Amino acid sequence: MSGTTHLKSLQALEMAIREGSLKSAAQKLSITPAAIGQRIRTLEEFLGQDLLVRGRSGLQATPELELAISDLQTAFAALERASKTLDFQRITEIHVVADPDWSELWLLPRLPEFRAKNPNILFCVNGAGDVPMRIGAPDCRIEYGPADIGEPLFTDFLLPVTSSGNLYRIADRNDEMIMEGMPLLHLQAQRDDPTRPSWNDWFEAYGLRRKGGGRGVHYPHARLALKAVRQNVGFLICGLALVQKDLEAGQVVLPFPMGQHIIAPYPYRLKITGGQKLRPQLQKFRDWLRDESAKTAAHLANGVPDGQNAG
């Protein structure tokens, strides 16, 4: 039995005593109850004696363990304090969990600029990147939602986008319902979350179609929907911040004036988890996110006619 195995087994044992159950201990250590039980059994087999019994108030130490439990608890309390202070294995790592469309279409295209200036900072975004995903809370979350989620970054504007090759479908139509019968593309999030504006919301605001605003293919991610847009499949209602790079590259176009947009009810928000003092690397990333978000907010506002700016 190696030193590492000893440590993991002792950690599982101490947490099970502290929490009173394998389930609660597993939640604290971000592993399964079965794994907690296996680690404790491994230690019991190595020592040749039982260490836990189940009492009325939950798991309790056997008389043999009682002799060592005080030292065990003191040792792991000190180890936890040291780990939080020194943050051993991840001092240069930043683990991010984010809205998948925001991360794929807004964050990742911009991240190389930050990395060029901070080459020693390693990233894991939604489980992928320089380092593998770790068990436990991420360093920060970026989500779309109300004020209780965290600090606002920017509020997106939504409007139709399509391919330049698709413009011919509406170019020769002079009637008021110019979008009647046009192929519409949708995002799964727009169907699952009523706070995310959809085609029905846009048609309610600007007309141009009598019925069928909910018809069409639903895509799990904006990246896949935009690929279909570029292939002339149809028209998509999407956040302008998410298609900014595609617009600049001419891969998608706006079939209607910029003023015909919908302001998202909620912004994308940043939440630094844990509430601890920020590591220098995480502070740099947070400050960079704020600066880049301010640029995006200014870009969105500058493209909107006077009197239509958000908030």
Residues 7, 44 contacting (CB under 8 angstroms)? no
d(CA 212, CA 220) in angstroms, rounded, equals 20
* 3-class secondary structure, 233: coil
CATH architecture of 90-154+267-302: 3-Layer(aba) Sandwich (3.40)
> Would you say the CATH fold of 157-263 matches that of 90-154+267-302?
yes
Pair of tokens at residue 20: 């009173």
DSSP 232: T
Q: Which residue has the higher pLDDT, 266 or 278?
A: 266
Residues 252, 124 contacting (CB under 8 angstroms)? no
Pair of tokens at residue 261: 């947009």
- Report the alpha-carbon angle 178-180-185, nearest 5: 105
pLDDT tens, residue by residue, 48-104:
888 888 877 788 888 888 888 888 888 877 776 665 555 555 678 999 989 999 999
pLDDT tens, residue by residue, 221-261:
999 999 999 999 999 999 999 999 899 899 999 999 999 99
State which fold the 157-263 domain adopts: D-Maltodextrin-Binding Protein; domain 2 (3.40.190)
Residue 283 has pLDDT above 50, yes or no: yes
What confidence score (pLDDT) does residue 275 get?
Answer: 59
Residue 310 has pLDDT above 50, yes or no: no
What confidence score (pLDDT) does residue 87 get?
Answer: 54
Q: How many CB atoms lie within 10 A of CB 27?
A: 15
Domain extents in the chain: 3-86, 90-154+267-302, 157-263
What confidence score (pLDDT) does residue 153 get?
Answer: 97
CATH architecture of 3-86: Orthogonal Bundle (1.10)
Provide φ and ψ at 53, rounded to 5°.
-130, 155
Beta bridge partners of 175: none
Alpha carbon separation from 66 to 14, 69, 94, 109 (Å, rounded): 11, 5, 40, 56
The residue type found at 249 is A
What confidence score (pLDDT) does residue 309 get?
Answer: 34
**Cβ burial 239-256 (10 Å sphere, 16+ → b, else e):** bbbbbbebeeeebbbbbb
